[in-house]
């Protein structure tokens, strides 16, 4: 069907509810809005769906969720009776319609004869991941749009290992979804029918307890935590699902002085106190910082709605005045990596064959830290599913020992019982790191500066260009195509300097073609990249430590083109100066491709 036919169907057919019809009839004279809602199906990517709430095939609503769940169910049925018996674990966050989307997912799957474990209240991503493994389920579904604005929601699919569903399985699920040409053929049980079949089970407190017990086993330097149990910490869940699990583990550690921002404590899908519920944005922590000043707190912690990302601000002196300074995702990742490896090496518990994992757009200083402790560092593509995959391959089924994983976008993981980023374990580790620092007479700022003193200075930034709608999608795709056309035309080192407005490009990694192009004065040397195919271009820029880089990639979860930079030097001044220059040059070159 074309756009007009689909709009007519959704507006008039009795299959669709009255609210849907009213919403669509209200835009009957807005052809652009109708086009946006019906020009394509909401894209099912490698992890699932994410989109704006509303009526239409390119929006998040009950019908789109039921269709996706039917495709997932058909995939599970195709895997056999054992997969159906093992079933699917479902959880959800605080966003608008998250409980309803979780329930329609459950009812659609039970209609197909598949067992379902549905969370009895909102619970975060890491608990969903843990619960899939705890129930020995075949798959999991998390209803969330993570840190996106309130108008979004999403549908993330997990595999039996608790990690986001791998590309091969995602492709099969997508093929089943695409096979549902008429959305009116999608069927589901009523809630009572699902219960009467004995296929719907609610999960809750028992998993809460098991998850918290698991986290407690990952505690580092308990002696320092006990000695500093009265230290003051401010926490905000930003109206999301982290409130109970974060407070539960901090209380289990005996930390007695944890203050929660009251205005942001309870779930609220409108996120009324923040522009965007994203702890990457320092503005999201502003209310927590004000409370920290009143409570004389050393540390501010904030988690996003599905509690897989965490941001912090630390008390320090700025120009002689006490202030709270936010740390970047890379800085927290480097600090936690050093904290874990140093503490374990000191205690004699750092195993041979230990490894850590980070992403291609995260800080390159992680390599120096791992080398110092004799630990292997693995680099993977952006997306925590790839970190989870390395745990599965090298720890669960291999003979290596996972220690820590992080990505620059404020995601961290310790332990092997969760296979996605976990802001709950990160909150526990950050609090423990603060306690250890205080025991040593240091602040967390001192700790970070010590890392720079030992391993060199490195600073990273990212620029995101948001382009929503059909036109935005086309512009982002066109920009990457244009950048690749320039790369294909480049024949030597002199020409490489013109790829990004004079940035000192020495090599380019094209993860879509799995090729690394190394430029010399004489020509090009081509090497193979042994990572999955991805729409990413990474430019190697040399620098004092031969680690500088810039990168362009479309976001996998948001309508954005993301541009990253990392610059490394022996002094802070040199690193920051070259970062500012690189950011200006590269950003203008990439943004020009969007026109």
DSSP string, 336-393: HHHHHHHHHHHHT---TTEEEEEETTS-THHHHHHHHHT-EEEEE-SSHHHHHHHIII
Distance between CA 259 and CA 172 in Å, rounded?
46
Distance between CA 421 and CA 286 in Å, rounded?
24
What would the two tokens of residue 482 be? 């244009």
Give the largest Cα separation in the chain, rounded: 74
The percent helix, strand, coil of the chain (3-state, each to 5) is 45, 20, 35
Nearest CA among 162, 532, 173, 170 for reference residue 382? 532
Our answer to whether residue 119 is catalytic in this structure is no
305 CB-side CA count, 13 A:
29
Residues 6+ apart with CB under 8 A from 69: 104, 105, 108, 109, 141
Distance between CA 165 and CA 280 in Å, rounded?
25
Output the CA torsion sign for 200, 206, 212, 214.
Answer: negative
Match 């404590």 to its residue by tokens.
265
CA 538 to centroid of chain Cα atoms? 20
Distance between CA 190 and CA 64 in Å, rounded?
17
Output the CA torsion sign for 464, 467, 468, 474.
Answer: negative
What would the two tokens of residue 343 be? 């503490």
What would the two tokens of residue 333 be? 């990742």
Nearest CA among 258, 283, 257 for reference residue 271? 283
Query: Is 582 exposed, middle or buried, given 0-12, 13-18 or 19+ CB atoms closer than 10 A?
Result: buried
Distance between CA 130 and CA 128 in Å, rounded?
5
Written in H, E and C, the secondary structure of 172-186 is HHHHHHHCCCCHHHC
Query: Phi/psi class of residue 319: alpha, beta or left (left: φ > 0; alpha: ψ in -120 to 50)?
Result: left
Distance between CA 467 and CA 475 in Å, rounded?
8
Give me the catalytic one of 11, 69, 94, 146. Answer: 146
3: DSSP letter: H
558 neighbors 566 (Cβ within 8 angstroms): no
3-state DSSP assignment of residue 594: helix
341 neighbors 369 (Cβ within 8 angstroms): yes
Sheet holding 321-326, edge to edge: 258-260, 233-236, 299-303, 310-318, 321-326
Active site residues: 146
């Amino acid at each position: 069907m074309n756009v007009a036919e689909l709009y007519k169907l959704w507006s008039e057919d009795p299959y669709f509810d009255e609210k849907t019809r009213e919403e669509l009839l209200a835009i009957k004279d807005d052809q652009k809005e109708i086009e946006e809602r019906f020009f394509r199906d909401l894209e099912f990517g490698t992890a699932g769906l994410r989109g704006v709430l509303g009526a239409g095939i390119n929006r998040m609503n009950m019908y789109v969720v039921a269709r996706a769940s039917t495709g997932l169910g058909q995939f599970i049925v195709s895997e056999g009776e054992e997969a159906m018996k093992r079933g699917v674990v479902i959880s959800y966050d605080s966003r608008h319609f998250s409980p309803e989307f979780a329930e329609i997912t459950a009812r659609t799957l039970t209609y197909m004869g598949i067992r379902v474990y549905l969370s009895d209240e909102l619970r975060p991503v890491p608990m969903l991941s843990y619960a899939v493994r705890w129930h020995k389920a075949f798959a999991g579904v998390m209803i969330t749009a993570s840190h996106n604005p309130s108008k979004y929601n999403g549908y993330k699919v997990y595999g039996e290992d608790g990690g986001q569903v791998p590309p091969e399985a995602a492709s099969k699920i997508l093929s089943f979804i695409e096979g549902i040409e008429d959305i009116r053929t999608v069927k589901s049980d009523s809630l009572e029918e699902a219960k009467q079949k004995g296929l719907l089970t609610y999960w809750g407190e028992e998993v809460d307890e098991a998850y918290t017990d698991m986290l407690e086993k990952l505690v580092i330097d308990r002696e320092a935590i006990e000695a500093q149990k009265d230290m003051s910490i401010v926490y905000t869940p930003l109206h999301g699902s982290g409130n109970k699990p974060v407070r539960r583990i901090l209380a289990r550690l005996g930390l007695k002085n944890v203050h929660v921002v009251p205005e942001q404590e309870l779930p609220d899908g409108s996120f009324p106190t923040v522009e965007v519920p994203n702890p990457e944005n320092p503005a999201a922590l502003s209310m927590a910082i004000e409370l920290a000043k009143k409570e004389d707190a050393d540390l501010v912690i904030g988690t996003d709605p599905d509690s897989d990302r965490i941001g912090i601000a630390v008390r320090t002196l700025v120009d002689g005045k006490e202030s709270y300074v936010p740390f970047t995702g890379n800085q927290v990742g480097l600090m936690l990596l050093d904290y874990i490896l140093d503490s374990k090496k000191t205690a004699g518990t750092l195993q041979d064959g230990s490894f850590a994992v980070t992403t291609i757009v995260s800080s390159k200083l992680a390599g120096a830290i791992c080398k110092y402790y004799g630990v292997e560092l693995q680099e993977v593509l952006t997306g925590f599913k790839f970190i989870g995959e390395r745990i599965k391959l090298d720890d669960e089924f291999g003979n290596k020992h996972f220690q820590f994983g992080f990505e620059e976008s404020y995601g961290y993981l310790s332990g092997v019982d969760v296979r996605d980023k976990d802001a709950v374990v990160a909150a526990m580790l950050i609090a423990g790191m603060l306690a250890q620092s205080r025991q040593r007479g240091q602040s967390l700022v001192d700790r970070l500066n010590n890392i720079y003193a030992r391993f060199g200075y490195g600073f990273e930034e990212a620029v995101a260009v948001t382009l929503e709608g059909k036109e935005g999608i086309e512009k982002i795709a066109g920009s990457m195509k244009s950048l690749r056309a320039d790369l294909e035309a480049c024949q030597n080192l002199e020409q490489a300097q013109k790829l990004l407005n004079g940035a000192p490009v020495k090599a380019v990694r094209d993860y879509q073609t799995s090729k690394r192009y190394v430029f010399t004065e004489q020509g090009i040397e081509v090497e193979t990249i042994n990572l999955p195919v991805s729409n990413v271009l990474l430019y190697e820029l040399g620098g004092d430590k031969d680690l500088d880089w810039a990168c362009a990639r479309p976001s996998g979860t948001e309508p954005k083109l993301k541009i990253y930079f990392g610059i490394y030097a022996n002094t802070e001044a040199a690193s920051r100066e070259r970062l500012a220059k690189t950011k200006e040059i590269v950003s203008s070159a990439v943004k020009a491709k969007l026109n």
